[in-house]
Structure 1
Amino acid sequence: MKRLTELLKRPHGMLVLALVLIVAGSFLAGLFHTSFYSVKVQRIEFPTERGTLTGLLYMPEGAGPQDPRPVIITTHGYLNSKEMQDAPAVEMSRRGYIVLAVDMYDHGDSRWAEPIPPGGHFGTFWIYSQFDAAKYIYDQPYTKKDEAGNAYVAVSGHSMGGFSSFIAMYMDEMAALQSGYRMIYTGISVGSDFSFSQAVASQEQFQAAFGSRTVGMIAAHFDEFFFNKADEEKTPAERAISGTVTFKDFPATASGKAFLGLAPTDGPGEAGKFYTVDSGPVIVEGNEIRPSQEAKRIIYTPSEIHPWNHFSRETTANLIEFYTAAFQGVTSPKQAKATLSPNNQIWWLKEAFNFVALIGFFLLVPASVRLLITLPFFRNSVAPAPEVISLGTGPRAKAMWVLIILVAWLPAIFFPQLFAKTASGVQLLLWATVIAAVLSIAWLIYTGSKKQEGGNGLWRSYIPITIMAVLLITWLRRPESFLALGSTFNQPTTNQIAYWAVASGLIAALFNVITYYLAGKNAGTAFASYGLLFKPAVIVASLAAALAAVVTGYIVLWLIQAIFGVDFRLWTLAVRTFRLEHFRTALRYLPFFFVFYLSNAVALNASTRGLKKCASVLVAVILNAGGLGLWLLYHYGKLFITGVAGYPAVTLNGILLFALTPFLGVAAVYARKLFEDTGHVWLASFLNALLFTMITAANTATFWNLMS
Structure 2
Amino acid sequence: MNDNRRLWIVAAVSLLLIFGGSGLAWTVQTDAGSVEVRDVTFSGANGTMMSGTLYIPEEASSASPQPGVLAVHGYINSKETQSPFAIEYARRGFVVLAIDQTGHGYSDPPAFNNGYGGPDSLEYLRSLDYVDNENIGLEGHSMGGWTVITAAAAHPDGYESMVIEGSSTGSNRAPEGTDSFPRNLAVVFSEYDEFAPLMWGTASASDVEQSEKLQTVFGTDSAVEEGRTYGSVEDGTARQLYTPATTHPGDHFSTAAIGASIEWLQFTLEGEDEINPSNQVWYWKSLGTFIALIGGVLSLFPAGGLLIERASTDRLRREYPDGKGMTGGKRYAAALLAAAIPIVTYFPLQDIAPAVIGLSWLFPQQINNGVIVWALGNTVITAVLFAVWHYTSNADDPSVSLANYGLDTGDGARTLGISVLAGVATVGVLYLLEAVVAFLFQTDFRIWVFAIKLLSPAQFRISVSYLLPLFAFFVVLGALLHGQLRPEGESRSLRRAMATNWLIVVGGFVVLLAIQYIPLLTGQPLPLGHPLLTILALQFVALLSIVAFVSTYFFRKTGRVWVGATINAVLVTWVIVAGTATQFPV
Verify: 1:556 aligned to 2:514, yes or no.
Answer: no
Q: Which string of whole-angstrom CA distances, capped at 9 and with x for unpartnered residues, describes residues 159-217 of structure 1? A: 111011112112212xxxxxxxx2211111111112316x464333xx4443xx32111
C-alpha contact 1:229 1:253 (8 A) present in aligned 2? no
Instruction: Name the structure 1 match of 2:277.
Output: 342
Q: 1:315 aligns with which of 257, 275, 280?
A: 257
Amino acid corresponding to residue 85 of structure 1 in structure 2: Q
Instruction: Name the structure 2 match of 1:196.
Output: 171
Q: 2:521 aligns with which of 634, 640, 652?
A: 640
Q: 1:40 aligns with which of 36, 39, 42?
A: 36
C-alpha contact 2:82 2:252 (8 A) present in aligned 1? yes
Amino acid corresponding to residue 580 of structure 2 in structure 1: T
Secondary structure in structure 2 of the residue aligned to 1:595: helix
- Aligned mates of 1:108, 1:275 — CA distance in 2: 37
C-alpha contact 1:76 1:157 (8 A) present in aligned 2? yes
Verify: 1:582 aligned to 2:459, yes or no.
Answer: yes
Amino acid corresponding to residue 678 of structure 1 in structure 2: T
Q: CA deviation at 1:684?
A: 0.4
Secondary structure in structure 1 of the residue aligned to 2:39: strand
Instruction: Name the structure 2 match of 1:511.
Output: 385
Amino acid corresponding to residue 107 of structure 1 in structure 2: H
Q: 1:60 aligns with which of 43, 57, 60?
A: 57
- Aligned mates of 1:218, 1:588 — CA distance in 2: 39
Instruction: Name the structure 2 match of 1:432.
Output: none
Secondary structure in structure 1 of the residue aligned to 2:422: helix
Instruction: Name the structure 1 match of 2:395.
Output: 521
Q: Which structure 2 residues correspond to residues 172-187 of structure 1 after superposition, within 5 A?
A: 172-173=155-156, 182-187=157-162
C-alpha contact 1:675 1:684 (8 A) present in aligned 2? yes
Q: 2:301 aligns with which of 344, 366, 369?
A: 366
Q: CA deviation at 1:694?
A: 1.0
Verify: 1:271 aligned to 2:226, yes or no.
Answer: yes
Q: Which string of whole-angstrom CA distances, capped at 9 and with x for unpartnered residues, describes residues 491-524 of structure 1? A: 0000001111111122222222111111123455
C-alpha contact 2:375 2:473 (8 A) present in aligned 1? yes
- Aligned mates of 2:21, 2:314 — CA distance in 1: 32
Instruction: Name the structure 2 match of 1:593.
Output: 470
Q: Which string of whole-angstrom CA distances, capped at 9 and with x for unpartnered residues, describes residues 637-694 of structure 1? A: 12112513231x2121111111112211110111111111111111001111011111
Q: CA deviation at 1:260?
A: 2.0
Amino acid corresponding to residue 307 of structure 1 in structure 2: P
Verify: 1:18 aligned to 2:14, yes or no.
Answer: yes
Secondary structure in structure 1 of the residue aligned to 2:241: strand
Amino acid corresponding to residue 567 of structure 1 in structure 2: D
Alpha carbons of structure 1 residues 373 and 8: separation in structure 2 relative to 1, 3 Å: closer
Amino acid corresponding to residue 222 of structure 1 in structure 2: Y
Structure 2 residues without counterparts, runs of 5 or longer: none
C-alpha contact 1:219 1:227 (8 A) present in aligned 2? no
Instruction: Name the structure 2 match of 1:240.
Output: none
**Cα RMSD between the aligned structures?**
2.2
Amino acid corresponding to residue 163 of structure 1 in structure 2: W
C-alpha contact 1:608 1:619 (8 A) present in aligned 2? no
Amino acid corresponding to residue 75 of structure 2 in structure 1: Y
Secondary structure in structure 1 of the residue aligned to 2:38: strand
Q: Which string of whole-angstrom CA distances, capped at 9 and with x for unpartnered residues, describes residues 464-502 of structure 1? A: xxxxxxxxxxxxxxx723x32112100000000111111
C-alpha contact 1:604 1:668 (8 A) present in aligned 2? no
Instruction: Name the structure 1 match of 2:206.
Output: 248
Amino acid corresponding to residue 190 of structure 1 in structure 2: E
- Aligned mates of 1:379, 1:28 — CA distance in 2: 44
Secondary structure in structure 1 of the residue aligned to 2:144: helix
Aligned length: 578
Instruction: Name the structure 2 match of 1:109.
Output: 106
Instruction: Name the structure 1 match of 2:416.
Output: 539
- Aligned mates of 1:274, 1:10 — CA distance in 2: 61
Q: CA deviation at 1:416?
A: 1.1
Verify: 1:410 aligned to 2:341, yes or no.
Answer: yes
Percent identity between matched residues is 26
- Aligned mates of 2:122, 2:332 — CA distance in 1: 58
Secondary structure in structure 2 of the residue aligned to 1:521: coil
Verify: 1:499 aligned to 2:373, yes or no.
Answer: yes
- Aligned mates of 2:207, 2:545 — CA distance in 1: 36
Q: Larger C-alpha radius of gyration, 1 or 2?
A: 1
Alpha carbons of structure 1 residues 209 and 635: separation in structure 2 relative to 1, 3 Å: closer
- Aligned mates of 1:217, 1:350 — CA distance in 2: 26
- Aligned mates of 2:280, 2:570 — CA distance in 1: 37
Alpha carbons of structure 1 residues 167 and 74: separation in structure 2 relative to 1, 3 Å: same
Q: Which structure 2 residues correspond to residues 455-470 of structure 1 after superposition, within 5 A?
A: none
- Aligned mates of 1:95, 1:349 — CA distance in 2: 17
Structure 1 residues without counterparts, runs of 5 or longer: 113-120, 146-150, 174-181, 235-243, 280-292, 423-478
Alpha carbons of structure 1 residues 517 and 128: separation in structure 2 relative to 1, 3 Å: closer
Normalised by the length of structure 1, the TM-score is: 0.78
Q: Which string of whole-angstrom CA distances, capped at 9 and with x for unpartnered residues, describes residues 106-152 of structure 1? A: 1000114xxxxxxxx66425x2522211111111110114xxxxx31
- Aligned mates of 2:125, 2:526 — CA distance in 1: 41
Q: 2:355 aligns with which of 471, 480, 488?
A: 480
- Aligned mates of 2:506, 2:200 — CA distance in 1: 37
Tell which deviates more after alignment, 500-509 or 25-34.
500-509
Instruction: Name the structure 2 match of 1:573.
Output: 450
C-alpha contact 1:42 1:57 (8 A) present in aligned 2? yes
Alpha carbons of structure 1 residues 128 and 528: separation in structure 2 relative to 1, 3 Å: closer
Tell which deviates more after alignment, 185-194 or 252-261.
252-261
Q: 2:248 aligns with which of 306, 310, 318?
A: 306
Tell which deviates more after alignment, 383-392 or 133-142.
383-392
Instruction: Name the structure 2 match of 1:284.
Output: none
- Aligned mates of 1:510, 1:184 — CA distance in 2: 59
Q: 2:578 aligns with which of 698, 702, 706?
A: 698
Normalised by the length of structure 2, the TM-score is: 0.94
Amino acid corresponding to residue 82 of structure 1 in structure 2: K
Secondary structure in structure 1 of the residue aligned to 2:169: coil
Q: CA deviation at 1:21?
A: 0.6
Alpha carbons of structure 1 residues 514 and 128: separation in structure 2 relative to 1, 3 Å: closer
Secondary structure in structure 2 of the residue aligned to 1:196: coil
